[in-house]
Amino acid sequence: MNQIGGHGSLIMPAFTYNLRRENHPDTPFDRLNSPSRVGAVSETFRNMPGVIRTSGATHSFCLWGKAAAVIGIKNAPESPLGRGSTLEWLDSQDNGYVTMVGVNFTAFSFGHYLEQLAPVPWHDFSPWKHLQVQPLGISTAGEQKLRELPGCSQSFIRFEQFLIEEGLIKPHRERSLCAYHIPVRTLLETGLLFFRNRPQDLLCEPDSCHACDERWEFYLTSLKTGQTK
């Protein structure tokens, strides 16, 4: 944090996925106490001095620095990783970076923002019907209506491979650890073209993933009826 300075920001996801499910007991999101479900690093960061957490019942973020002051704890958009979200604020910054340590693009949350911005054909189609998920976040503050539900990110690795092949990113390796430090501008300029022109590469192979199978069905039906290109 000392290296970032007082005018910078540090942002980490602290997702909890507290969604309403039919015939399933609800577990409400508690902004102050619900632990992050996306790793020990984000959970440690959540409990550090000066860090605040947004109020999204499914996809909250922990913020430090300028982002904390500008975004604030009340941020809980209907598009959890799209318009109005912390990721849109990151998009608006001229010198933002996405840093990934010990993970590849199967954990690339910014990819869901690109899905909404492009948009991909299924951007507002929920892929979680097989789990009886409703478009509602459950919080101690009440229900949160959700316009979009992020889906599977396993195939974002194809975007990672494309960036490497084009020489646009290079993994930093230390023994078995791999890390990326990527300008947001690079991800936006290249990602929007990739996501618009190659949406099929963002879905898992048929019959390998329930969520992607639901989106494949929606996508192929849309192509047949002329609702998408």
Is residue 192 within a helix (H) or strand (E), and if so which, with residue range? helix 184-197
Percent of the chain with pLDDT over 90: 90
Q: What strand order describes the sheet that includes 133-139? A: 19-21, 133-139, 142-145
Q: How many CB atoms lie within 10 A of CB 225?
A: 8
pLDDT in tens, 21-65: 998 888 999 999 999 999 999 999 999 999 999 999 999 999 999
CA dihedral 30, 33, 34, 39 (to 10 degrees): 150
Is position 228 within any domain? Answer: no
Is position 225 within any domain? Answer: no
The residue type found at 202 is L
Is position 94 within any domain? Answer: yes
Supply the range of the domain harboring residue 203.
9-220
How many whole angstroms separate alpha carbon 103 and alpha carbon 13? 14
Q: What is the pLDDT of residue 228?
A: 64
Is position 3 within any domain? Answer: no
pLDDT in tens, 116-153: 999 999 999 999 999 999 999 999 999 999 999 999 99
pTM score above 0.85: yes
Closest CA to 144 of 11, 17, 14: 17
How many whole angstroms separate alpha carbon 155 and alpha carbon 212? 10
How many whole angstroms separate alpha carbon 24 and alpha carbon 57? 17
Count of structural domains, the chain: 1
DSSP of 84-97: TSHHHHHHT-TT-E
Is position 227 within any domain? Answer: no
DSSP of 196-227: HH-GGGGSPPTTS-HHHHHHHHHHHHHHHHTS
Is position 36 within any domain? Answer: yes
Q: What is the mean pLDDT of the chain?
A: 94
Is position 139 within any domain? Answer: yes
Reading the block at residue 152, the tokens are 């599977």
Q: What is the pLDDT of residue 55?
A: 98
Is position 61 within any domain? Answer: yes
